[in-house]
Amino acid sequence: MVNKFYLWLFFFVLLGLNTVLAFAGVVIVFIIFLFTRRVPLEPKGQFHSDSYVYKQSGNLMLKLDCRYPEERREKYPVVFFAHGGGWISGFRNQPNNVSWSKYLASKGFAVVSIDYRYGINNSMEDILEDYSDALEFVREKSQMLRLDTSKMALMGLSAGGHLALLYAAYYTSPQAKVTRKERVYRMKGIKAVVAFYAPSDLKDIFVKDNKSLFARFATRTTLKGFPDESDDVYRRYSPIYWVSSCMPPVFLAHGKDDTVVPCNSSIKLAKKMKACSVDYKFYVHKRGNHAFEFVLKDFKTIKILETTINFLKAKLSKSVQSNSDFKEKGEHHAC
């Protein structure tokens, strides 16, 4: 919405008439935009969900929602879901995220949708800490939550997809400064990653062809500087620099006409994963913009959604890889 010229024009016309009216108009447009976004295959009916506080940071209670399939089972495979919003906005239970959760739950997955601190007053390291802590909560409470944490997939949209990719790439990279024991523990049970229109190289947000003021502001705010000021920081938090052959299977989806996160960022990542022999799938919607699956209802969009489910089912139905297998792969097959 931030990139729509006619909405900016609407705002400035109202601003010329009345300041309060201008901001009221923007709020109304935002609410309409926010509460009408759904994936085209969202199922009818309700899906049971529970909310939990997984962490307290100062006075802030960070929560996650667990949404379950209608069919009751002892344990469910898990999709660990992170929302988008440029790391500075968004929340776990806004309608587009709930829509995704319902769709995934209707296919037999338990969906854990998390909140995390924003990059305005916090760092990327803080956000990643929240991400890890939420995952740790899920593992520790798996029995109570009826979750099969031996079968988990990390999934996210935009900034949330970046977090999923970065976590999986970093903790499987032989170059990461973590012990072998921690690497194995962090990735225990994680068998796949799904990222929709996520930045893989954070410098791509600042390429000349990308006109998104919001994306530039959000990235610069979260990383506390521009690429030319903090090159090492941008590299450290860009998933593409950590990709190795040890990375779990990855599903990427991106709109070719994305005006927020350039599609080329996913193209570069796909090439890197191919070079490193990572098991991956990559789908590009030729007419898709950012968050295309909430706007387009065409055959290609539906096909991508269905293929996402098939990918998750295939990867989460496999037998669990042993820790010793993971260690050996990390030692001998690094890209």
CB 152 within 8 A of CB 191: yes
**Average pLDDT over all residues of the chain:** 87
pLDDT surpassing 80 at residue 269: yes
CB 64 within 8 A of CB 116: no
Residue-number span of the structural domain to which 62 is assigned: 37-332
Q: Is residue 2 a part of any domain in this protein?
A: no
Q: Is residue 293 a part of any domain in this protein?
A: yes
pLDDT-wise least confident of 39-53, 162-176, 234-248, 257-271 = 39-53
Could you tell me which residue, 277 or 14, shows the higher pLDDT?
277
pLDDT in tens, 303-325: 999 999 999 999 998 654 444 34
CA distance 16 to 290: 30
Q: Is residue 259 a part of any domain in this protein?
A: yes
Tally Cβ neighbours within 10 Å of residue 323: 15
Q: Is residue 278 a part of any domain in this protein?
A: yes
Based on the number of CB atoms within 10 Å of its own CB, is 139 exposed (0-12), middle (13-18) or buried (19 or more)? middle
Helix (H, G, I), strand (E, B) or coil at 285: strand
Helix axes of 124-140 and 159-170: crossing angle, nearest 10 degrees: 70
pLDDT in tens, 93-143: 988 999 999 999 999 999 999 999 999 999 999 999 999 999 999 999 999
Task: Give the model's pLDDT for residue 22.
Answer: 53
- Count: domains in the chain: 1
Instruction: State percent of the chain over pLDDT 70.
Output: 81
pLDDT in tens, 281-307: 999 999 999 999 998 899 999 999 999
Q: Is residue 12 a part of any domain in this protein?
A: no
Q: Is residue 16 a part of any domain in this protein?
A: no
CA distance 305 to 39: 9
pLDDT in tens, 63-90: 999 999 987 778 999 999 999 999 999 9
Task: Give the model's pLDDT for residue 317.
Answer: 86
Can you tell me which residue has the tokens 């890890």? 132
Select from 37, 118, 116 the least CA-distant residue to 80.
Answer: 116
Global pTM reads: 0.86
Q: Is residue 27 a part of any domain in this protein?
A: no
Q: Is residue 294 a part of any domain in this protein?
A: yes
CATH number of the domain residue 100 falls in: 3.40.50.1820
